[in-house]
A and B are shown apart, each in its own frame.
Chain A
Amino acid sequence: MASHKMSARDVNVFYGEKQAIRNVSIDVDKENVTAFIGPSGCGKSTFLRTLNRMNDTVVGCRTEGRIELDGEDIYASEMDVVLLRARVGMVFQKPNPFPKSIYENIAYGPRIHGLAENKSAMDHVVETSLHRAGLWNEVKDRLQESGTALSGGQQQRLCIARAIAVDPEVILMDEPCSALDPIATAKIEELITELRGRFAIVIVTHNMQQAARVSQRTAFFHLGELVEYGATADIFTNPTQTRTQDYITGRYG
């Protein structure tokens, strides 16, 4: 029985009058990769963004219900959203490295959180993070070059390294491979598999093969509802809901 890192209960999300998420309850495992799948506009990205309160920045967005990180309510008034986002990191659909050097991209998070005491400690953090993201060998000779000069796949791995650098507990990935070519995608998937166990990982994807390859748990969203949630193998081979069945066999979406 895997232990739960995050759990959501009866979560509703509204954009103004429009309801984007309806009564979603879900548990995210500590050791597993959890995939959110579903057709465009089904609310899977919206739900992902409630897990580190990135939806707070969207004007008119309102979240109801209870989401816990290790039993703490992250929407409680005493929860510090800055610290929450340090504990629950995020990687976006489009690689968004800062227009600074590769080194500075990684060092930014540890610096603002005061995680490295001195220059050599920072060097160590940068090197370790790049190693874990599988990028060290490709960039070790050009750490002072701009992060935006890397290829798309390298940029995305840089963003993952940047998220790892602050040593989060959960990493949320919002369609991290949708802007990448198949080779870069394969590298990211490999990386996700390697990171599994060290961080709880939640990945939103449009690519069902990808969900099947990298995740152990899969949640299928449709029209803002959580239709089915279970072991990835079960969802893909033996779904209990007809809507899930229709989606994974390509009937719609």
Chain B
Amino acid sequence: MSDRAPGIGGDLPVTSNPSRWNSDVMQRRVARRYASERRFRRIGLFAVALSAGFLAFLLLSMVINGARGFTQTEIKLTVNFPSIAAGVTPAALSAKGGDEALSGLDLEGLAASEATAAYGENGAALLSDGAWLTLRDAIKSDPTLITRKGEMWVPASVEIDAAAKGRGDTANTRLVAQLKTNGQIKTGLNKTFFTSSDSTDPTVVGIWGAFKGTLLTMLVTALLAFPVGTLAALYLEEYAPRNRWTDLIEVSINNLAAVPSIIFGLLGLAVFLNFFHMPRSAPIVGGLTLALMTMPVIVIASRNAIKAVPPSIRDGALAMGASPVQVVFHHVLPLAMPGILTGTIIGMARALGETAPLIMIGMRAFISSPPTSFTEPATVLPVQIFLWSDEVSSGFVEKTSAAIIVLLVFLMTMNATAIYLRNHFERRW
């Protein structure tokens, strides 16, 4: 043996000088390395602060604008129902055909005349155009009201509402102050906003119709996209041979996930509406269209989750004499489930916020009653937001923001569910 380095480059003699770790050159090099590390950390911190700032700005402006949308100013009105009863009895109202009898009553005129009587000749202008709806609903729930005088709180007009919230002109602000001292006006939680649907009058609009439409649409999407996407991913990962065809399918799925959503809307329009003649504006069509859009996302996420299951688990189960399908359903799927669920909910959250494809299939219609089935015309939250943001009346501004808050809360609930499910199903191996 000689003084040569063993193994590597056997004929290279060890001649280099020993490193001088304390030399100036070395010290400067070390200092440079630390400086670059500090620089990198500062850039990262800046990036995080920037995105957090944007998020905070978005949330704050939404909440500040939207909080007003959850409240509504109401005006006290004493209503003399018998004056328009014209022989309609409580029994007739609660019997069959009562709705027709009710619609025969001139509640609109009654509200206007009572307002004029109570608040002077401009009194009717204090009330919302939809004020009479409150009277109608009151009689509906208690038909005996028709026989007596009733004291009701009805929604105020857009101008009065704005003045009560400190954003009106001087005349209305003074008027509101006067009404307040008389105890004839109050601003409270807007229950109507959660129970009614779209309307042309911003004081009586609500999101319940759009919310229900969203629920029905998402239900269709989930019921279709989750099983189909998961099973497709399982087949591609566990069973399909690796060849040119499966490569082609993989590329197609990746491309589909990147296709702009409006194209899926056009596809839904062409296939579900024009070819299969399914009902226009219906949650079932919206759900099918969004399912098409969500499926590639679920397939990709599920395949990654399935790939992450260690092969040793598959080997272990196969070596016990488990059949391939038992390996998949007893071992691979349960272990991949957290990842699959996370991918599904992320895909669903994206579908939840989609507007464009639903507009293409007619879900932007004016829907004033909540859908009761999958085939009835409906709209969804993001489309409702889009529609309200387009309205001229200034009362819609705060309703739009309020609807956005509802949508964001819905989204956050879904994401929280995703995190919960992931933690709940996660196992170590």
A sample of 8 inter-chain contacts (CB < 8 A) reads A54-B318, A82-B321, A85-B320, A90-B319, A92-B312, A108-B317, A112-B323, A148-B429
B331: Cβ under 8 A from any A Cβ:
yes
Question: Which residues of chain B have C-beta atoms less than 8 A from A83's C-beta?
Answer: 321
- Bound Cα distance from A82 to B324, whole angstroms: 9
> Given A59-B242, A99-B429, do A163 and B320 touch, yes or no (CB 8 Å)?
yes
A98: Cβ under 8 A from any B Cβ:
yes
Question: Which residues of chain B have C-beta atoms less than 8 A from A99's C-beta?
Answer: 313, 335, 427-429
Considering only residues 77-100 of chain A, those with a C-beta below 8 Å from chain B are: 82-86, 89-90, 92, 94, 96-99
Known: A90-B315, A90-B319, A98-B331. 15 other contacts (CB 8 A): A52-B319, A57-B314, A57-B315, A82-B321, A82-B322, A86-B321, A92-B312, A108-B317, A108-B320, A108-B322, A109-B321, A112-B321, A146-B427, A148-B428, A163-B319
For chain A, the bracket of interface size reads 20 to 34
- Bound Cα distance from A108 to B322, whole angstroms: 9
- Bound Cα distance from A218 to B312, whole angstroms: 27
Instruction: Give the distance to chain A from B408, nearest Cβ to Cβ, in Å.
Output: 36
Give the contacting residue for A112; candidates B315, B326, B429; CB below 8 A: B326
Question: Which residues of chain B have C-beta atoms less than 8 A from A112's C-beta?
Answer: 320-323, 326, 330
B316: Cβ under 8 A from any A Cβ:
yes
A28: Cβ under 8 A from any B Cβ:
no
Contact with B along A143-165 (1 / 0, CB 8 A): 00010100000000001001100
Considering only residues 97-114 of chain A, those with a C-beta below 8 Å from chain B are: 97-99, 108-109, 112-113
Closest 6 A/B residue pairs (Cβ): A86-B321, A90-B319, A96-B312, A85-B321, A99-B427, A96-B316
- Bound Cα distance from A162 to B320, whole angstroms: 8
Instruction: Give the distance to chain A from B207, nearest Cβ to Cβ, in Å.
Output: 44
Instruction: Give the distance to chain B from A95, nearest Cβ to Cβ, in Å.
Output: 9
In the complex, the number of residue pairs spanning A and B with C-beta atoms less than 8 Å apart equals 67
B interface secondary structure, majority: helix
Considering only residues 324-376 of chain B, those with a C-beta below 8 Å from chain A are: 326, 330-331, 335
Chain B residue, CB-CB nearest to A83: B321
Instruction: Give the distance to chain B from A201, nearest Cβ to Cβ, in Å.
Output: 15
| Interface pair B428/A94, CB less than 8 Å apart | no
Contact with B along A58-88 (1 / 0, CB 8 A): 0100000000000000000000001111100
A166: Cβ under 8 A from any B Cβ:
yes
Question: Which residues of chain A have C-beta atoms less than 8 A from B428's C-beta?
Answer: 99, 146, 148
Contact with A along B301-318 (1 / 0, CB 8 A): 000000000101111111
| Interface pair A94/B312, CB less than 8 Å apart | yes
Instruction: Give the distance to chain A from B65, nearest Cβ to Cβ, in Å.
Output: 48
Question: Which residues of chain A have C-beta atoms less than 8 A from B317's C-beta?
Answer: 98, 108
| Interface pair B331/A166, CB less than 8 Å apart | no
Question: Which residues of chain A have C-beta atoms less than 8 A from B330's C-beta?
Answer: 108, 112
Question: Which residues of chain A have C-beta atoms less than 8 A from B427's C-beta?
Answer: 99, 146
| Interface pair A57/B429, CB less than 8 Å apart | no
Question: Which residues of chain A have C-beta atoms less than 8 A from B321's C-beta?
Answer: 82-86, 109, 112-113, 166
Question: Which residues of chain A have C-beta atoms less than 8 A from B313's C-beta?
Answer: 96, 98-99
Question: Which residues of chain A have C-beta atoms less than 8 A from B331's C-beta?
Answer: 98
Considering only residues 14-73 of chain A, those with a C-beta below 8 Å from chain B are: 52, 54, 57, 59
| Interface pair B320/A92, CB less than 8 Å apart | no
- Bound Cα distance from A104 to B318, whole angstroms: 16
- Bound Cα distance from A83 to B318, whole angstroms: 11
Question: Which residues of chain B have C-beta atoms less than 8 A from A163's C-beta?
Answer: 319-320
Question: Which residues of chain A have C-beta atoms less than 8 A from B312's C-beta?
Answer: 92, 94, 96
| Interface pair B326/A85, CB less than 8 Å apart | no
Contact with A along B220-245 (1 / 0, CB 8 A): 00000000000000000000001000
Chain A residue, CB-CB nearest to B429: A99
Chain A residue, CB-CB nearest to B322: A112
Contact with A along B176-211 (1 / 0, CB 8 A): 000000000000000000000000000000000000
- Bound Cα distance from A52 to B317, whole angstroms: 13
Chain A residue, CB-CB nearest to B310: A96
- Bound Cα distance from A96 to B429, whole angstroms: 8
- Bound Cα distance from A92 to B318, whole angstroms: 12
Chain A residue, CB-CB nearest to B321: A86
Give the contacting residue for A89; candidates B242, B314, B319, B323; CB below 8 A: B319
Chain A residue, CB-CB nearest to B320: A109
| Interface pair A166/B315, CB less than 8 Å apart | no
- Bound Cα distance from A53 to B323, whole angstroms: 13
- Bound Cα distance from A92 to B322, whole angstroms: 16
| Interface pair A92/B316, CB less than 8 Å apart | yes
Instruction: Give the distance to chain B from A163, nearest Cβ to Cβ, in Å.
Output: 7
| Interface pair B335/A85, CB less than 8 Å apart | no
| Interface pair B318/A57, CB less than 8 Å apart | yes
| Interface pair B320/A89, CB less than 8 Å apart | yes
Question: Which residues of chain A have C-beta atoms less than 8 A from B314's C-beta?
Answer: 57
- Bound Cα distance from A99 to B317, whole angstroms: 12
- Bound Cα distance from A98 to B317, whole angstroms: 8
